[in-house]
Chain A
Amino acid sequence: MGEIRTEELLMNIGPQHPSTHGVLRVIVKVDGEIIREAEPVVGYLHRGTEKLAEDLQYTQIIPYTDRLDYLASMANNHALVTAVEKAMDLEIPERAEHLRVIVVELQRLVSHLVFLGTYLLDLGAMSPFLYAFANRERVVDLFNRLCGARLTYNYMRVGGVKWDTPDGWLEDARAFVPHMRSELKMLHDLVSGNEIFLNRVKGIGKYDTATALGLGLSGINLRCTGLEWDLRKNKPYSIYDRFDFNVITGKNGDCYDRYICHMDEIVESLKIVEQALEAIPEGPVMGKVPKILRVPAGEYYHAIEGVRGELGVYIVSEGKDKPYRLKFRRPSFINLQVLPQLLVGQSMSNLIAILGAVDIVLGEVDA
């Protein structure tokens, strides 16, 4: 049988494509079914947050951070307020610190649930999405009761948090932990052993630690290669050093490992939430901070372990109430750089499996 003649074809995936969960365009050059070249094109959601921030007081910037990674607004809030607090050497009340840890870990957990649901949906499984979102709803409800918003919380302030918990909130949060544990077992039963799923993700989209480090990957995208690197442990901030939890790592650095890391991090987040709910003291939720926040002149870089990796804030201050320059180190933006090299040589049907496992949020990619 003779060779089948093929021809290279240029194809646009997106900007409007359901599996990109936002507006991302990937230009792929395909030869038959095989991808020869891939180039992500970003910027469709660029709002100039960093430019806007130069004209805003620090408290006014907080709602803008909600709109970066809109699946993890609490973590974004946390990154900004801890950066300002570190620069100003502010003390935070114990209750506020605990509340922050609780909401950030709940946020991490529901963001991972969204990953799980949408990833499976991209791969053709409908029902895990519904289970994942039903459970996410419970946490979104908790957040709603806490701060009146379901997605863009604007909950934290420099010096603490804006609102104390309403009556019964802590009990309901406590009740969520065992509930989520049993739901997680159900999700594992539903997905983790599914042969079709395993065939789609095992051994796909592999890279090693050296590649990941060179590309500056962080979060699960780095840990899935086996490196234990979690800023909550390696550069402790807030009160994370008080809690007992494990850093989840993978072995092979493929899509399956990234999936499993997401699932296992939910377990660890539940552990932290449980301990923090146990230890939360009574007291004020706002520390004594000046009404007008003036960060001392200088430059500061501070990073937290966001949901998708190292979420950093770089502040240049001239001692005024507004930053001279504010830069967000956005994990999704940097993690997305790994995509082209993962796609080359893969078949078209793997594109969605690989893109989904990188777990980006376009609001954060484009800022």
Chain B
Amino acid sequence: MSEETKAPQGTEEAPAPIDPRVEKATAFLETVKGKITARFGEGVIEEALLAKFQPTFVLKKEHYLEVVTFLKDEPSLAFIYPEAMAGTDYMDKGYLEVYAYIHSFVMDADIAVKVRTERENASVPSLASLFPGYNWEEREIFDLLGINFEGHPDMRRIMNTDEWNGHPLRKDYVVQD
């Protein structure tokens, strides 16, 4: 493939004034982070970052469920609308990740919450009891990535047949003929 087309007009890294979107997202990130640490202490958050303009929290697996429960039940946060969920296999980094995207009507904002698990015997707490909408999403992730969701009411494959071998979205999956 030709290499000559390398985004000629691309974004130049000038010391531009701070983007208002970044400012707003940072403020939002700090607010939520403050509320979480006030309740649970610093230890529950592995990482709090902006992914583009999206405030994102990487939570420790042991505290994942209680923090998300808090995010949902705390009236001033009220992240009650489960929008999306995705799983990713970071094989080179040695872990699997579950990404949950939740909306709050009170704050009029979205939050991304992530949790990581090792690739062998991968397992994370289920959010299906909090958000019934994540029931099938978690079954899909279980099917395609092989992450077990502890406390899920119905942990079965959903896309592939029950006899299927392996989990197709794992990076080391060998496609069968």
Q: Tell whether A and B belong to one assembly.
A: yes
List residues of A whose CB falls within 8 A of some B CB.
42-43, 46, 48, 50-51, 86-87, 89, 213-218, 288, 290-292, 294, 298-301, 303, 310, 312, 314, 316, 321, 324-325, 327, 329, 333-334, 336-337, 366-367
Known: A216-B82, A299-B56, A301-B112. 9 other contacts (CB 8 A): A42-B158, A43-B159, A51-B168, A291-B2, A298-B52, A314-B84, A324-B88, A334-B136, A337-B135
Q: CB distance B88 to A292 under 8 Å?
A: no
| A218 to B10 CA separation, bound complex (whole angstroms) | 36
| A342 to B154 CA separation, bound complex (whole angstroms) | 19
B interface bracket (residues with beta carbon within 8 Å of A): 35 or more
Contact of B133 among A288, A324, A334 (CB under 8 A): A334
Q: CB distance B11 to A89 under 8 Å?
A: yes
List residues of B whose CB falls within 8 A of some A CB.
1-2, 5-11, 51-52, 54, 56, 80-84, 86, 88-89, 99, 101, 112, 131-137, 140, 144, 157-161, 168-169
Q: CB distance B132 to A214 under 8 Å?
A: yes
Interface centre among A43, A303, A336 (most CB of B within 10 A): A43
Which B residue's beta carbon lies closest to that of A50? B169
Contact of B5 among A51, A291, A337, A367 (CB under 8 A): A291
A-B contact pairs, 11 of them (CB 8 A): A51-B168, A288-B9, A292-B1, A298-B51, A299-B51, A300-B51, A300-B52, A310-B84, A314-B101, A325-B88, A327-B86
Interface centre among B83, B131, B144 (most CB of A within 10 A): B83
Residues on the B chain within 8 Å of A288, using CB: 8-9
Report A328 CB to chain B, min CB distance, Å. Answer: 9
Contact of A216 among B5, B112, B133 (CB under 8 A): B133
Q: CB distance A303 to B132 under 8 Å?
A: no
Interface centre among B2, B5, B134, B136 (most CB of A within 10 A): B136
Which B residue's beta carbon lies closest to that of A298? B51
